[in-house]
Amino acid sequence: MSVEVPQKTDYKKYLDPRTLAKIAALDVRARLIVEGFITGMHRSPYKGFSIEFAQHRPYTSGDDIKYVDWKVFGRTDRHYIKQYEEETNLQVMLVVDASHSMNYAGQSNPQWRKFDHAISIAASMAYVAIHQQDGAGLAIFDQKIRKLLRPSNSPRHWRTIIEELSGSPGGAKTGTGQVLEEIAEEIRHRSLFIVIGDMFDDAAGIIKGIRHLRYRRHDVIIMQVLDHDELEFPFRNTTMFKGMEDPAEVVVEPQALREAYLEEFQKHTEKLRAACHKLQVDFLQIDTSVPLDVSLPGFLANRAARIH
């Protein structure tokens, strides 16, 4: 199966062949075990041919038109796809933070934003999912969902995902928790949700959103993408700090601030990590200074080993 490559988008910037080579062989399958089966594993080799009708869903660009319910179209003038119980392909929903804070690029590589790293992760995971003939979908958000592409396993859909991700983050603040609650209601088919962002938001709200996804029986991976500056706070000289999602500016002596910053940052991270562990959600903190072919494969390999 081949995957189409966008013609207008510099996909190579985000789709590192080294990363793909290491993760393509790994099983990006959901971990929830329901009735003795691993959710997302194919129960039937006859993909697309099923016995029991389950529900309709809106047609998404790239869906095979042979599954369009033309009778419903005749009544409503809208296209809907028939879904069946035996359509057991995994759905991977990539939920990407495009708030203004994701524009940050640190001292080590000022040309590489956190958002660029998030795009690389999403591009890689979508590529692998579609290459396995599983479905990949996308939600781009800041304070609210700005774009929603429902999962599809069409090779053309990967191109659409990358083109949507190639825009710049907006100027809005982050509303991660509320967005996760909304999307939990929007996507009812049990899916693997990969939430990619800096998680610089109210921890209680994020946890509430994750809990809602788990209540809907989705599997969840949280990938906290951070610049190395945010992890280490390496600033030494008197510096003016400007809020990425707030107009405030403050001049400080970094050495005096560093200890307090790292302490608060650690508390926030550990609160999220502990909640994820309790909810059986994988939590991965990613440093943008570390290549994805280093940070992703080990995590996915360990996850695959736990599943099987």
pLDDT at 90 over 60: yes
Specify the pTM: 0.74
Say what the pLDDT of residue 137 is: 95
User: For residue 233, is it left (φ>0), alpha (ψ between -120 and 50) or beta?
Assistant: left
Confidence (pLDDT) at 38: 28
Pairing status of strand 239-242 against strand 219-226: unpaired
**Better pLDDT: 286 or 261:** 286
220 and 75 within one domain: no
Q: 266-270 — which CB contacts under 8 Å span 24+ positions?
A: 268/199, 268/203, 269/199, 269/224
Residues 92, 65 share a domain:
no
Number of domains in the chain: 2
Judge whether 6 lies within some domain: no
The pLDDT assigned to 308 comes to 58
Residue 142 belongs to some domain of the structure: yes
Q: Average pLDDT, stretch 222-236?
A: 85
Quote the CA–CA distance of 158 and 189 in Å, as a whole number: 20
CA torsion, ordered 70, 73, 78, 82, to nearest 10 deg = -40
Residues 61, 203 within the same domain: no
* 265 in a structural domain: yes
Token pair, residue 109, equals: 């590589």
- In degrees, rounded to 5, the angle at the alpha carbon of residue 240 between the alpha carbons of residues 234 and 245 is 95
Any domain includes 46: no
The answer on 237 and 212 residing in a single domain is yes
Task: Tell me: pLDDT of 47 over 70.
Answer: no
Q: Same structural domain for residues 135 and 231?
A: yes
Cα–Cα dist 178/140, whole Å:
13
Residues 71 and 113 reside in one and the same domain:
no
pLDDT for res 80:
72
Tell whether the model's pLDDT for residue 84 goes beyond 60. Answer: no
In a domain, 193, yes or no: yes
Section 128-136 average pLDDT: 85
List the beta bridge partners of residue 244: none
Helix-helix angle 292-307:114-131, to 10 degrees: 50
Same-domain status, 187 and 94: yes
1 assigned to some structural domain = no
What is the 8-class DSSP label of residue 132? T
- Inside any domain, residue 5: no
* DSSP3 helix / strand / coil % (the chain, rounded to 5): 40, 20, 40
* Cβ atoms of residues 106 and 229 within 8 Å: yes
Question: Cα–Cα distance between 15 and 246 in angstroms, integer?
Answer: 32
Least confident interval from 66-75, 160-169, 235-244, 251-260: 235-244
Residues 33 and 128 grouped into a single domain: yes
Which band of pLDDT confidence, cut at 50, 70 and 90, is reported for residue 55? low
My answer on whether 101 and 77 are in the same domain is no
Q: Per the domain annotation, does 125 fall within a domain?
A: yes
Helices then strands (H, E): number in the chain?
Answer: 9, 12
142 pLDDT tier (thresholds 50, 70, 90): very high
Split at pLDDT 50, 70, 90, the class of 170 is low
Q: Residue 207 belongs to what H/E stretch?
A: helix 203-215
Q: Check whether residue 27 and residue 153 sit in a common domain.
A: yes
Distance CA 129, CA 27 (A): 9
Two structure tokens written together for 91: 């759905």
User: Is residue 174 domain-shared with residue 188, that is, in the same domain?
Assistant: yes
In this prediction, residues 58-64 reach a mean pLDDT of 68
Q: Domain range spanning residue 67?
A: 53-84
CATH of the domain at 193: 3.40.50.410
Cα separation, 173 vs 201, whole angstroms: 9
Do 79 and 192 reside in the same domain of the chain? no
